[in-house]
Amino acid sequence: MDFKSGFIGIVGAPNVGKSTLLNRLLGGKISITSKKPQTTRNRILGIVQRPASQIIFIDTPGIFSTSNRFNIRMVETALSVLGDVDIALLMIDASKPDPCSEQLVVKKLRNQKKPVILAFNKIDIIERSTLLSKIDAWTKQFSFAAIIPISAKHGTQMEALLRAMEVALPKGPQYFPRDLITDMPEKFIAAEMVREKVFRFTGQEIPYATAVTVESFAEDKKRSLVKIYASIHVERDSQKGIVIGKNGVKLKKIGEAARIEIERMMGCRVFLKLFVRVQKNWSKDMKTLRGLGY
């Protein structure tokens, strides 16, 4: 009778640690991370199972002002979450504020009649006096249900954050089975893990022009093997050369690193074959964006 459940939208500027927080709370990796902004492009759902509650998180792309069509679509995806959730979790990088993006998010939150919890992330790299002054300033800006200083990287204050959410959650049913941590299909997560490795092994220009689609995902249960064929989409021939690298070395590194992550997720052996395809200006074409899942 006292069981609580509901949806929490994790929102904030790019690179504040939203995906790192979600992975930390789940105790497993479902949302990819990197130091590059706008790594997250879709809504990612993760479920934290507690004795008296089921807390369902939705990780979102970073919110910021942009004129780029692709980025506009991602920001719209993030903002649309606010209308669907029970609680908004606003994350701020305490070590590196982004006033323009933060105020854009706060402006949207003021139109929502629901609890908002503020999480100050990366408190492990700032002075306590600086943190206290930031908390004081934000307390004057908005009426938060709770303000929790955290470090998603180190797991600091995770229990305090979950407790604050439990307090604000409504009573409700178990929406998902007790052993589930996400409703995202393995095929989707596998594609995301490939994209993460492209981020890690290529320079500044490539990631924003990269998308990954899984062409084939076949399970051989007798051999405890999954065969995955995936395509890395880029916009120019020069980008294709960078992703492949000299004698295919870069693509091989991307594939090996992604395969290890996917095997860890699936708990079995994985055969991963990658292809690089040039799709001219895909990030500016709405039809292509829809075809790629954005």
123 domain residue, yes or no: yes
Same domain? 159 vs 193: no
Helix, strand or coil, per DSSP, at residue 237: helix
Sheet containing 225-234: which strands, arranged edge to edge? 211-220, 225-234, 269-278
| CATH code, domain with 271 | 3.30.300.20
Q: What is the CATH number of the domain that holds 26?
A: 3.40.50.300
Total structural domains within the chain: 2
| Whether residue 84 is found in the same domain as residue 153 | yes
My answer on whether 161 and 54 are in the same domain is yes
Let me know whether 156 and 284 are in one domain. no
Phi and psi torsions of 251, nearest 5°? -65, -35
Q: Has residue 179 been placed in a domain?
A: no
Give me the tens of pLDDT residue by residue for the chain, a chain 294 residues long: 689 999 999 998 888 999 899 999 998 887 866 665 556 656 788 999 999 999 999 988 888 777 777 777 777 777 888 888 999 999 999 998 888 888 888 888 888 889 999 999 999 999 999 999 999 999 998 999 999 999 999 999 999 999 999 999 999 999 999 988 888 888 989 999 999 899 888 876 676 678 899 999 999 888 899 999 999 999 989 999 999 999 999 999 999 999 999 999 888 999 999 999 998 877 777 777 777 776
Does residue 81 lie in a domain region?
yes
Domain that holds residue 209: 186-291
**What CA–CA distance (Å, rounded) separates 29 from 89?**
20
Cα(250)–Cα(247) distance, integer angstroms? 8
Residue 173 lies in a domain: no
